[in-house]
Amino acid sequence: MPSFDKKNILVTGGAGFIGSHLCERLIKDSRIICLDDFSTGGVMNIDLLLKHPDFELVRQNVSDPIDLESLPELKSFKINIQGIQEIYHLACPTSPKRFEEFKMRTLEVNSTGMKNILDLAAKYKSKLVHASSSVVYGPRLKDKQVFGEDDYGVVNHMTPRGCYDEGKRFAETMVNTYREVYGLDAKIARIFRTYGPREKLFDGEMIPDFIINALDNQNLVVYGDEHFTTSLCYVDDVVSGLIKLMSASSDIGPVNLGSSEDLKIVEVAKRIIEMTESSSQIVFDNPLIFMTPLCLPSISKAKELLGWVPLVRLEDGLRKTIDYMQAHKSLLQAGLR
């Protein structure tokens, strides 16, 4: 139990897209250690949090040895006395366009990095939520599109995506093994495609690229054809699911977090053009290895055991993301120069 009035919470990948939103939510009643190496995250995502007295950034690769008690910037957290109460493990490179560049780091994060975080959880008896991915189910099948947590899925571990897809499966195995051997309160969130403010620009993530190009009246590029479909869940809903999962029973097992609605990405692009009153056109390009149609989640388990469903409608989520990008457009584009 914490020795002070606030919990110490470690968020790995806390400067990333989902991680920064999670930190923002948790900081209201906890002390947050954000660990990130900025491989795909950004300081701009946590700019306001850096001024908060209960927030501290540790710039480090999660695959390197982690000794929180030795870091002078964490002295006020009194980790040697209070320890760490909760760990949200979100660190993992996710970059469709730079996937080849991060292959070795992805492999390390899903193995050595996962072990480092589990060792921390075992040391401090921390509750842990590991951010896994829908890729553990493998690609969408013609005769099966919706997957529940009891479905095994099929992943070809020898493909160019193996370091991520099979890596996420191995990381889940590590979480479950530590839970069995050390009695950890460790849960697994299988996160499906998520969108919202702070998603990285010009990196192959279609929603932010659609919006920024629409605002500039440039072509919206779909990496695939007009049949590309996907689910899209707004980031605030995913964050709510992660927090609810942290409070759930330790034996809950993996839980899907995502939208079960199947959307044609071309229709989403058209909607963004309409909402931004843009003159942009939609064009098609070759698919990216990391940006492919994925299966849809069954979210009945999250509904029944967490009381969680996605609440933000696509129209509202797109409007919030458009408003953010309009307000920060010059800063976002300057950060890419």
pLDDT tens per residue across span 215-249? 999 999 999 889 999 999 999 999 999 999 999 99
Instruction: Give this prediction's pTM.
Output: 0.95
Q: Are residues 71 and 207 in the same domain?
A: no
The closest alpha carbon to 321, from 200, 230, 227, belongs to 200
Per-residue pLDDT, averaged over 309-332, amounts to 92
Q: Are residues 178 and 265 in the same domain?
A: no
Range of the domain at 208: 196-230+261-292+313-334
Query: Which candidate in 137, 164, 223, 234 is catalytic?
Result: 164
Q: Are residues 135 and 201 in the same domain?
A: no
Whichever domain contains 276, its CATH number is 3.90.25.10
Q: Are residues 111 and 184 in the same domain?
A: yes
| Tokens (6 digits) for 98 | 């730079």
Q: How far apart are the first and last CA of the chain?
A: 46
* CA 97/CA 82 separation, integer angstroms: 41
Q: Name the band, by pLDDT with cuts 50, 70 and 90, for residue 333.
A: low
* CA 256/CA 301 separation, integer angstroms: 8
Q: Verify whether residue 234 is a known catalytic residue.
A: no
